[in-house]
Amino acid sequence: MEKTVVLYNPLSGNCTEEAIKQGLPGCECYDVTKISDYAAVFSGLTSEDSLILCGGDGTLNRFVNDTDGMEIPCKILYYPVGTGNDFAFDVIGSKTSEKPFPVNEYLKNLPAVTVKGKTYRFLNGVGFGIDGYCCEVGDELRKKSDKPVNYTMIAIKGLLFHYKPTNAKITVDGKEYLYQKVWLAPAMFGRYYGGGMMPTPGQTRRDDTVSTLVFYGSGKLKTLMIFPSIFTGKHVAHKESVAVLTGKEISVEFDSPRAIQIDGETILGVTSYRAVAPGLASMEN
């Protein structure tokens, strides 16, 4: 008999074991925040069985990193219930889905980023700059309230009052670039991050590359005027303030520490990162 296993994140949406079992009677449920032995979860599963991931981008990130290098014998499906759902938006064109959709092909051959000596796989992007700052502030707000976090408002207030840009050295496939007053310097594998922002609109997760957007040089008001166009990808027309660099290996160094986010998961006090495309990531693994 075909078996269905659901891995859910109780911190995403209204994901509860009770609700899942009402919708899928007879399924096995596991809280991803408490799994310590994925081999035991996968034991006995075959190609006829299904594993459903129920959560947001952070849930997917946790899963691909916790299972990196493991053979998963069954079909993997994803049911997006997070707040940003950038992966779903990129893959199926919608942040919500009426039913789980297959994702096996998307969870293999992923890029990697190294931060503070530790390497992580990522699905969507690595945010460094005011996007990392937004995640840092959002994390603090969630500790104080259950209200939804408005990241766009955090970004606007940061641009106007709180966030100070840095200088950066960016190296792409061995070639160095120097920029002043850098507001954003993410590394992208998918098209979307941050709840619908499209920093590198030409990037596709089917290519063996990663891309970085460098948003630099402008003062607060001009940056604020350009910033909304990042949701449509039209910001790239502002060549005086925006550069997009693509390659197999991207390193970004800031001249003062900032928060970084990896598929929405925040790391504080970072001065540099190194991101590599799937081909290089596989060779280094």
CATH number at residue 276: 2.60.200.40
In this structure, are 195 and 91 located in the same domain?
no
In this structure, are 123 and 238 located in the same domain?
yes
Residue 174 phi, psi (nearest 5): 90, -10
In this structure, are 260 and 123 located in the same domain?
yes
In this structure, are 125 and 27 located in the same domain?
no
How confident is the model at residue 283, as a pLDDT?
61
In this structure, are 146 and 264 located in the same domain?
yes
- Could you tell me whether strands 101-102 and 4-8 are parallel, antiparallel, or unpaired per DSSP bridges? unpaired
How confident is the model at residue 1, as a pLDDT?
67
In this structure, are 193 and 236 located in the same domain?
yes
Does residue 146 surpass a pLDDT of 80?
no
Band of the pLDDT at 44, cuts 50, 70, 90? confident
Does residue 267 surpass a pLDDT of 90?
yes
How confident is the model at residue 199, as a pLDDT?
95
Best CA proximity match to 63, nearest among 211, 209, 263: 263
When divided into structural domains, the chain yields a total of 2
Question: Which of 79, 108, 137 represents a domain boundary (last residue)?
Answer: 108
| 251 neighbors 260 (Cβ within 8 angstroms) | no
Distances, alpha carbon 187 to alpha carbons 103, 154, 245, 251, in Å: 22, 21, 9, 9
In this structure, are 167 and 268 located in the same domain?
yes
Query: How deeply is 161 buried, as exposed, middle or buried, from its count of CB atoms within 10 A (0-12, 13-18, 19+)?
Result: exposed
In this structure, are 104 and 121 located in the same domain?
no
Write the Ramachandran bin of 103: left for phi over 0, alpha for psi from -120 to 50, otherwise beta: alpha
In this structure, are 29 and 141 located in the same domain?
no
Q: What is the helix (H) or strand (E) element at residue 282, kind and residue range?
A: helix 278-284
- Chain centroid to Cα 134, Å, comes to 14
Best CA proximity match to 29, nearest among 13, 18, 40, 17: 17
How confident is the model at residue 84, as a pLDDT?
84
**What mean pLDDT comes out for the span 51-55?**
95
Question: Which of 108, 136, 163 represents a domain boundary (last residue)?
Answer: 108
**What mean pLDDT comes out for the span 90-96?**
94
Write the Ramachandran bin of 220: left for phi over 0, alpha for psi from -120 to 50, otherwise beta: alpha
Question: Which of 108, 123, 153 represents a domain boundary (last residue)?
Answer: 108
Domain carrying residue 246: 113-284
Best CA proximity match to 268, nearest among 141, 56, 111, 115: 115
Query: Which of 17-26, 53-62, 174-183, 222-231 has maximum average pLDDT?
Result: 174-183
Higher pLDDT, 24 or 224: 224
Distances, alpha carbon 242 to alpha carbons 212, 223, 229, 275, 281, in Å: 10, 10, 12, 20, 27
**What mean pLDDT comes out for the span 136-147?**
85
**Tell me, what CATH number does 34's domain have?**
3.40.50
In this structure, are 165 and 269 located in the same domain?
yes
**What mean pLDDT comes out for the span 102-113?**
94
**0.85 surpassed by pTM:** yes
